[in-house]
Amino acid sequence: MTVSIHPTAIVAPSARLGEGVSVGPYAMIGGEVVLGAATTVGAYASVQGPAELGPENRIFPHAVLGFDPQDIKYRGERTRLVIGARNTFREFATIHRGTSATGETIIGDDNFFLAYTHVAHDCRIGSRCIFSNNASLGGHIEVGDGVVLSAFVGGHQFTRIGSYAFVGAFTPIRQDVLPFCKTDGHVAKTYGLNKIGLERQGFSKERVATLNRAYRILIRSKLNTKQALERLEAEMPNEPDVAYLIQFVRTSERGFHR
């Protein structure tokens, strides 16, 4: 396989393009950019380094990856963007590099960023996530695996979104979002387990039932959070999903949407 670069595209000499990379008309690939094998860059899209992308990523027209963060504290320090494999960035998606706080914005594998989505500096995104149109994250947000953000979701800086969470359209995220759960509303609240999403991710009926019981103890019992976590540890000591839920709640610094 050979590299295909349209005559109108601009590719910096220090960029490294893997086998089968395709760069479309008027696209711009800056210095210190690494594009993994079979990655495609659409017309007018721009990738600026330092940035490293794994294989088989798809960058659609007018998407912008790897530029300076939108942070007034940024002073031009050397930071980078790291992206895994098989991600899709649709039209006008924007993904920025990190700041000196962490040095990196990191994205995993098999994510789907729809048109006009935005991931700000120093975010950590897991794998197999879907960001619907105009979903936007502020800086320093952590997103687990298998998360679905609906259209126009807005994430406040330093919040966390747990794995396999579903967030409804137009929901403002001001606190952490519980893993495995549905969170929705102009005043964000949890509305039970994300059962359909969990089933689509291959969770067995037994795993879903265990998580549903854990959710009821944590949210719907009359116990306070400390008491609920202690009960979960006592009653479900060998359940990895429940252990992750407990750890997520215990390490929350901003509290979580209830």
Kindly write down the DSSP assignment for every residue of the chain, as one continuous string. Answer: ---EE-TT-EE-TT-EE-TT-EE-TT-EE-TTEEE-TT-EE-TT-EE-SSEEE-TT-EE-TT-EEEEPPS-TT--S---EEEE-SS-EE-TT-EEE---TTTSEEEE-SS-EE-TT-EE-TT-EE-SS-EE-TT-EE-TT-EE-TT-EE-TT-EE-TT-EE-TT-EE-TT-EE-SBB-TTEEEETTTTEEEEE-HHHHHHTT--HHHHHHHHHHHIIIIISS--HHHHHHHHHHH-TT-HHHHHHHHHHHT-SS-B--
Catalytic: which of 121, 126, 138, 197? 121
Catalytic: which of 66, 139, 146, 197? 139
The strand order across the sheet containing 148-149 reads: 4-5, 22-23, 40-41, 58-59, 88-89, 112-113, 130-131, 148-149, 166-167, 181-184, 189-193
Strand partners, 23: 5, 41
Catalytic: which of 109, 122, 176, 241? 122
* Catalytic (active site) residue 121: yes
Residue 237, exposed/middle/buried by CB under 10 A (0-12, 13-18, 19+)? Answer: exposed
* Catalytic (active site) residue 139: yes
Active-site residue numbers? 121-122, 139
